[in-house]
A = this chain, B = another copy of it.
Amino acid sequence: MPYNIGKLLVLVCLFSTHVSAQDKALLQYVKPLTGTDRMGHTYPGATVPFGMVQLSPETDTQSYELNGKYNKDIYKYCAGYQYGDQTIVGFTHTHFSGTGHSDLGDILIMPTTGKLQMHPGTADAPETGFRSRFSHSTEVAEPNYYKVQLEDHNIKAEMTTTTRVGFHQYTFPKSDSAHIILDMMYGIYNYADKNVWTFLRVENDSLVTGYRQTNGWGRTRTVYFAIAFSKPFKHYGYQDNSPKEVYRGFWRKFKTDEDFPEIAGKQIRMHFDFSTQQDEQIKIKVALSPVSTANAMANMKAEVPGWDFTTTKRAGQLRWNKELNKIDINADEETMQNFYTAMYHAFINPTVYMDADGSFRGLDQQDYGTSGFTNYTTFSLWDTYRALHPFLNLVQTKRNADMIQSMEAHYDQSVHKMLPVWSNSANENWCMIGYHAVSVLADAVVKDNPYIDGKRALEACVTTARHRSYDGLGYYMDMGYVPEDKNGSSVSKTLEYAYDDWCIAQMAKKLGRKDIYQEFFNRAQNYHHVYDSSIGFMRPRMSDGTFKKQFDILNTDEAGFIEGNAWNYSLYVPHAPEEMIRMMGGNKRFVPHLDSLFNIELPDKYFEATEDITRDGIIGNYVHGNEPSHHVAYLYNWTDHPEKTQERVRMILKRMYHPTPAGLSGNDDCGQMSAWYIFSALGFYPVCPGSVNYSLGSPAIKEATLHFENGKTLHIVARNQSDKHVHVKKVTINGREITNHTITHEDITGGGELVFWMK
């Protein structure tokens, strides 16, 4: 890496009042390229913690369909960038981090020189369009900074951000034919076809405003923007590739193809033309807003009033450094890099969805004014309820409460009266199953997050969980399980509803609502109803009460499950592992069963049906690249073989995470994979969010200090820890020995010292 961030940050610290003296320079350990090769679906570009703007290069995109069929190749471009690619199409301002399926990729900007080209061209012949070859040797990816040389145009591209503004800095060669391409056709997941409408105004010779409306994963999504150029363009024009419009006769009174300041349509590209001197920089600020172009302008003014790229970059990097310092670890170099890269990925989502003045657009497509909380979006809850939100609740307590208030606002605005399932940009896409927002709310309530109104949270959870027309829930409420012949993925749903219901019961108990506690405690037992004791696995059940006959425990595609096969999902009773083990034959039968999960040789045909992960993402039949097994390694703690939890956890930490582009074995899923790493590396994991307990594993760090918002600090020491010393002999919290492999939230946030004696 040609850029010494460590040194820079030391220098920056000297001039800044924002960084406390004890903050360590941690940015050097963050490798934003991690996960950009193959299945990680992360992006390498610039963003600030939880930022609304994610400014990152696009190496390609694909249509959702090809010849009327689902196009599998679209999948690798969930974040717009694949490390293996050799060209860059441009830079866009919004990206999901680590998702399966995708959207976004708004407002592509590409600087070019030479002949004006209004088409991106192809990867194998970049000279046929505006795209450019690039090399990883010129690429720098740091938190809030990305740099690359665009070889075909001889332009150095740099970018940084604030929460709501993307800041581009392009260094041009001498050219009489320099261009900035603004491609409003481009988008992630479906090139062009998802575009509903684009509206653009060239306000003056260096300012463009507009909005972009898409029908993608967010069905009715609009992003407003303002684009300011540091240098006036000489000339501009556009290309409208929209289908013919209804009535446009009288627009011919202008020469609308050049210097015409108001453009709208479905498929628009623009170009802005310049003459440049050698090494002349053209800077571009792109501010976003969920509400209006006026608000985008105000966001720009509030966050980047001037043109000082370096100051903006440094300010964002200081914010990152501050966030990373919430946990200060001591470990070997690869663990340091894995850990802080995981912290980085864990602090990207959910993302702010609110203007600087506090206004935002709701799920009902109404605009809301200041509401007393920061509104967030990008809730990939089926993934993130497991470890990401418990992690945020621990070290980003206020933010997690704001996220919960955002979910409650979503509930208020929802015509279904439901908390979010997978929501983004004032849209619900209903992706995946369950209603795991209740887990996030319950976890915060039982752990006494001081910013949560428990009563309001409980009401939203209960109403959500009683929505009979949702995804087999009526059957579940009536019959105690989802019948497979009525509603698919029925076992996964039954098990996850049961867990969610247990969460609601815990909240109700905490809030003294015995009636609700009893109702949902009863529902939480429903996992029993899909267990087939004759085979020792969870199994789809039909509406007549019989188990489904055709059944293959290894097949993920097999009806009854989703993103996991029966073998994995049969272990999903996070709220009652003890009872589950008893149900499955007790300790003696359970331990070899669990062993076999990790040891089995999975035939290729089963792997092929397992989405989202590479071959490295599985250990036997244990699929770390998908989430339903994330708690599984910790289940040995409920048997007489806790040392196997310690071994498995260390094995997963070692094999599934590397600080390299191919270092993530599956989708990072908005930080869930990373949060698993962080918890496990620290030595404990929230097997059952909604409970105050964490299950102990085997720390991969040597020392760690956690700084909580209550002002307290937990110091973790792993004595004698090494790759050869992964077993835990003894654990003490403030000198008191822990004998049940469990540490409570209160123990942790109370601060003090947690010591692991390794052997």
B194, A429: Cβ atoms closer than 8 Å = no
Query: Which chain A residues (228-251) contact chain B, with CB distance < 8 Å?
Result: 244-251
Is A294 an interface residue when CB atoms closer than 8 A count as contact? yes
**Given A197-B220, A213-B197, A367-B292, do A431 and B250 touch, yes or no (CB 8 Å)?**
yes
* Cα of A201 to Cα of B215 in the assembled complex, Å: 17
Question: Can you name the residue of chain B whose Cβ is closest to the Cβ of A187?
Answer: B246
A250, B415: Cβ atoms closer than 8 Å = no
Is A485 an interface residue when CB atoms closer than 8 A count as contact? no
B416, A250: Cβ atoms closer than 8 Å = no
A189, B247: Cβ atoms closer than 8 Å = yes
Looking at the complex, which of A39-47, A146-154, A253-261, A732-740 is the stretch in contact with chain B?
Answer: A253-261
Is A308 an interface residue when CB atoms closer than 8 A count as contact? no
Q: Given B202, B248, B253, which contacts A415 in the complex, CB threshold below 8 Å? A: B202
**Given A292-B366, A293-B366, A430-B250, do A259 and B469 touch, yes or no (CB 8 Å)?**
yes
Chain B residues with CB under 8 Å of A194's CB are 246
Chain B residues with CB under 8 Å of A470's CB are 253-254
* Cα of A251 to Cα of B433 in the assembled complex, Å: 11
Chain B residues with CB under 8 Å of A616's CB are none
The majority secondary structure among interface residues of chain A is loop
* Cα of A99 to Cα of B421 in the assembled complex, Å: 48
Query: Which chain A residues (397-424) contact chain B, with CB distance < 8 Å?
Result: 415-416, 421-422
Chain B residues with CB under 8 Å of A292's CB are 365-367
A216, B415: Cβ atoms closer than 8 Å = no
Is A211 an interface residue when CB atoms closer than 8 A count as contact? yes
Is A64 an interface residue when CB atoms closer than 8 A count as contact? yes
Question: Can you name the residue of chain B whose Cβ is closest to the Cβ of A291?
Answer: B367
A429, B246: Cβ atoms closer than 8 Å = no
Query: Which chain A residues (449-480) contact chain B, with CB distance < 8 Å?
Result: 469-472
Chain B residues with CB under 8 Å of A220's CB are 197, 199, 264
* Cα of A225 to Cα of B54 in the assembled complex, Å: 35
- The bracket for how many chain A residues form the interface is 35 or more
* Cα of A38 to Cα of B451 in the assembled complex, Å: 67
Chain B residues with CB under 8 Å of A245's CB are 215, 219
Tell me the minimal C-beta distance from A207 to chain B in angstroms: 10
Is A510 an interface residue when CB atoms closer than 8 A count as contact? no
* Cα of A739 to Cα of B364 in the assembled complex, Å: 67
Query: Which chain A residues (189-204) contact chain B, with CB distance < 8 Å?
Result: 189-190, 193-194, 196-197, 199, 201-203
* Cα of A261 to Cα of B265 in the assembled complex, Å: 29
* Cα of A220 to Cα of B247 in the assembled complex, Å: 12
A201, B366: Cβ atoms closer than 8 Å = no
Is A520 an interface residue when CB atoms closer than 8 A count as contact? no
* Cα of A247 to Cα of B100 in the assembled complex, Å: 12
* Cα of A293 to Cα of B361 in the assembled complex, Å: 13
A247, B367: Cβ atoms closer than 8 Å = no
Question: Can you name the residue of chain B whose Cβ is closest to the Cβ of A64?
Answer: B246
Question: Can you name the residue of chain B whose Cβ is closest to the Cβ of A250?
Answer: B430
B196, A196: Cβ atoms closer than 8 Å = yes
* Cα of A364 to Cα of B64 in the assembled complex, Å: 33
A416, B261: Cβ atoms closer than 8 Å = yes
Is A353 an interface residue when CB atoms closer than 8 A count as contact? no
* Cα of A216 to Cα of B260 in the assembled complex, Å: 20
B471, A201: Cβ atoms closer than 8 Å = no
Question: Can you name the residue of chain B whose Cβ is closest to the Cβ of A432?
Answer: B250
Give 12 new A-B contacts, CB below 8 A, not counting A211-B365, A219-B245, A254-B470: A101-B247, A190-B246, A196-B196, A197-B197, A199-B365, A202-B415, A203-B415, A247-B429, A250-B430, A250-B432, A255-B469, A294-B366
Complex A-B, nearest 3 residue pairs according to Cβ-Cβ distance, in ascending order = A253-B471, A250-B430, A194-B246
A positions within 8 Å CB-CB of B: 64-65, 101, 103, 189-190, 193-194, 196-197, 199, 201-203, 211, 213, 215-217, 219-220, 244-251, 253-255, 259-262, 264-265, 292-294, 364-367, 415-416, 421-422, 429-433, 469-472
